[in-house]
Structure 1
Amino acid sequence: MTLTIQNSDKTSGTLYLALFDFAHLHSPDLSWDDMRDIRKLQHIISENDEAVELSIGQLNSGSICIRVFLDLNQNQQLDRSSLGLPLEPVGFANNPSLAFGEPSPDEVCFELGPDDNQHSITLKQKKQHGKRNKDL
């Protein structure tokens, strides 16, 4: 499988990608901590990389989830706000909205068939809202 990661903000950092086996786990209450990863990759992204293409190799057909994040501060983890919202660029299979934070695994899993060779994920980062100037 080939995975294209869109980095439209052209932000540099270390990209962490994890594929998860979702077989036999279908549940809307499932959290990311409940998932068993089947493959992990790391890739350095420079600010010039608008898109990165990664070769995942052969995967068995079935239900899988993909989650990626761009580690901006090199601490090897996805930083989150006090509300649990991702503070670094993240992406998921099916490219869901991040309006309400990180989606559940159930929302981003898909059936990988024998001919599924191309998938694309767009990194998204919740925009930080500046504080309004109260000194008028």
Structure 2
Amino acid sequence: MSSNRNRPVKIDRIIGQIGCLFSIFSANAATLEVHIDNRQGPGTIYAALHAGPAADWKSKPVALGSTDSDLLLFEDLEPGRYALQLFQDSNANQWLDMSKRGMPLEPVGLSGNPKPARGRPPASECLFTLEPDGSRIHIQLMHPPAARQR
């Protein structure tokens, strides 16, 4: 009889431990809310999120995302430092179109909204901190001059 009395306690203890594990994992999962400003016309937004203080645009992104609205969410991320690059696919070919000189022909944006004087700045200059309770950033799309679009 004492073994039956202990059994519910063991099950309750196991359920409690599982609940603690879920709360630990949930506490480490943050959401990044990206608001896209200066969007003009139709076109899917494609984004690549790069992690760490040594982030590099050529490295494999930790997350990819796309949206047809002005809001993009990345969920279940570890808090830390990230850099984000995105573009608006104005012609729906799922690529960032570039000129022969390597200049974007479609709207682009980077976290931190730098104004690049000579090409894209390094990812290390576009870092932001994703807080444990989540973060919200705004990215301003930069549109190419009309002369470059042709």
Report if TM-score (shorter chain) is over 0.5.
yes
Identity rate of aligned residues, in percent? Answer: 32
Alignment-derived partner of residue 13 in structure 1: 43
RMSD over equivalenced CA pairs, Å: 2.0
Amino acid of the residue matched to residue 5 of structure 1? I
Give me the whole-angstrom Cα distance separating, in 2, the residues matched to 1:92 and 1:114: 22
Match of 2:138 in 1: 120
Structure 1 residues 68-87: aligned runs within 5 Å = 68-87=86-105
Structure ranking higher in helix proportion: 2
TM-score, normalisation: structure 2: 0.68
Q: Normalising to structure 1: TM-score of the pair?
A: 0.74
Q: Which runs of 4+ in 1 moved over 4 A?
A: none
Residue ranges of structure 2 left out of the alignment (5+ in a row): 1-31
Deviation string 1:52-82 (CA, Å, 9 cap, x unpaired) is: 1222223112221101100112221111122
Within 2, Cα distance between the matches of 1:71 and 1:22? Answer: 27
Q: State the number of aligned residues.
A: 117
Contact 2:65 2:72 in 1 (8 A): no
- For residue 78 of structure 2, the aligned residue among 33, 54, 60 is 60
- Return the index of the structure with the highest Cα Rg: 2
Q: 1:117 to 1:111 in 2, by over 3 A?
A: closer
The one-letter code of the counterpart of 1:117 is S
* Higher strand content, 1 or 2: 1
